[in-house]
Amino acid sequence: MRILLIQPPSSISFIDKVYMHEPLALEYLGAGLKLDAHQVLLHDARIEPDVLTAVRRFQPDLVALTAYTSQVNIVTLLARQIKALNPAIFVVVGGHHATVKPRDFNDPTFDLVVIGEGVETLRQIARELTGKKDFLSIHGLAIPGADFSFTPPRPHPELDQLPLPDRTLTARYRQQYFSEWLRPLASVRTSLGCTARCNFCALWSLTGGKYLRREVGRVIKELHTIKEENVFFCDDESMCDVRRMDRLADAIRESGIRKNYFLYARVDTIVQNPELFAKWRDIGLKQVFVGMESFSDAHLQGMNKGITVKQQEEAVHILRELGILLYASFVVDPDYTRNDFRDLTAYVRRLKLQYASFSVLTPLPGTAMYNERQGELLPYRPELFDFIHTVLPTRLPLPEFYAEFARLWQRAIPPHRAIKTFSKYGLRRLPRVFKLLGEAMRTLRQGHLDHGETVSAKD
């Protein structure tokens, strides 16, 4: 069977110019399908936007698309175009949003919706397409239609039961996967889920609250296949299991693998285990993405984040002493006043951070926060769930909120520290970076226009 896997573009064009990680989930799907000798093509529409030409050339029997919430309308349109081109093509959608809010894909253009981990599910779909077409026998599906029926849920498999991702499927794209200055960049998953219970995050719930780990030897085996110098551990939180990551560091050192590593870690993990980060620095850890989230203990408590501002300051000090870049991330509450924006700017400056990013607090489907605040949400438009738009009413008038948001990005890191960050790109890439920065600022300042009809601020 000929199977086409499609990675859709982001809902905001400049996002794919800031970072573009390899479509690891689709590489896992492709590896599973190849076990059954299917002919598989992976099409990355972020790099090659012309999906329909790929469909015409490849003539697939089955097309599988993946989507986050902000891509719901994008993949629905793609699916309709594919069906219009050839109604006989069987179209399946899966991914994060299909798992947490599958009813958004109750559209006749989709033949099936995959809920949860899709490697084995998609293999079974392909088998049934060439056989009895008994899809009700497959766990982890929703079937579009008037009643939108569900099959029994599929428990998430142990990670070591999955095949290694097939990176030959992205061979023609690999030089174009990156994150800011790390280029080219490979992505590796060593774990799934998180031990924390932040109310704005759905990742820990996707595994039923479990923190799933890969065996160290399997990770080493995969790292040996990676040609790229830069590796992003795309775990939801890499350092949850300190002992395992200590063993993995030892195994990497003993194997002689030399890479530049980038991973996620919590503030409290850094504070409690500075020696672990020192060990990882010695084997190539260059930067750590840290969800700082807020400048206020009250805000952090409201998010159920489980950390304090004091711990944030300690984590900054530890990573600075180790010479590891702290890639700090903060969340902007739509309820912010102008003073809140000023206070966050001052806090970031006081920490003397070299790099910080900011996103708008977004109650994503599948999170406790979404359930708690669903009644407050603005009219539902999936494309606005992209972390640079608000989906909650703002205290400031919308144009002012977005102007303050853009100003925060511009002012939080003073020029003399920003220069250190920009230097990582190299002189040849800097003109493109500054052009992109201008595009991003225009997008942020004009964010209120994307809401269409006027949305009033809070009283």
Q: Taking the domains of the chain in order of start, what are their residue ranges?
A: 2-148, 166-451
Q: What angle do CA 121, 27, 94 make, to 5 degrees?
A: 40
Are β-strands 191-192 and 212-213 bridged in parallel, bridged antiparallel, or unpaired?
Answer: antiparallel
Angstrom distance (rounded) from CA 146 to CA 86: 23
The two tokens of residue 80 are: 């309709």
Q: What angle do CA 70, 12, 60 make, to 5 degrees?
A: 65
Domain 166-451 carries which CATH code?
3.80.30.20
Q: Which helix (H) or strand (E) holds 282?
A: helix 274-282
pLDDT score at 55: 98
Query: Helix (H, G, I), strand (E, B), or coil: what is residue 149?
Result: strand
- Paired residues of 3 in beta bridges: 40, 62
Q: How many residues does the chain have?
A: 459
Identity of the residue numbered 73: N
In SS3 terms, 54-97 reads as HHHHHCCCEEEEECCHHHHHHHHHHHHHHHHHCCCCEEEEECHH
pLDDT score at 458: 67
**Which CATH number is correct for 2-148, 3.40.50.1390, 3.40.50.620, 1.10.10.10, 3.40.50.280?**
3.40.50.280
Q: Which helix (H) or strand (E) holds 402?
A: helix 398-411
Task: Match 């977005």 to its residue by tokens.
Answer: 402
- Paired residues of 331 in beta bridges: 359
- Going by the DSSP 8-state scheme, the letter that residue 378 receives in this structure is P
The two tokens of residue 247 are: 């063993």
The two tokens of residue 77 are: 């349109």
Spell out, as residue ranges, where the chain has pLDDT lower than 50.
Answer: none
Angstrom distance (rounded) from CA 316 to CA 320: 6
pTM over 0.85: yes
Cβ-contact 105, 93 below 8 angstroms: yes
pLDDT score at 455: 60
Angstrom distance (rounded) from CA 210 to CA 224: 28
Cβ-contact 191, 241 below 8 angstroms: yes
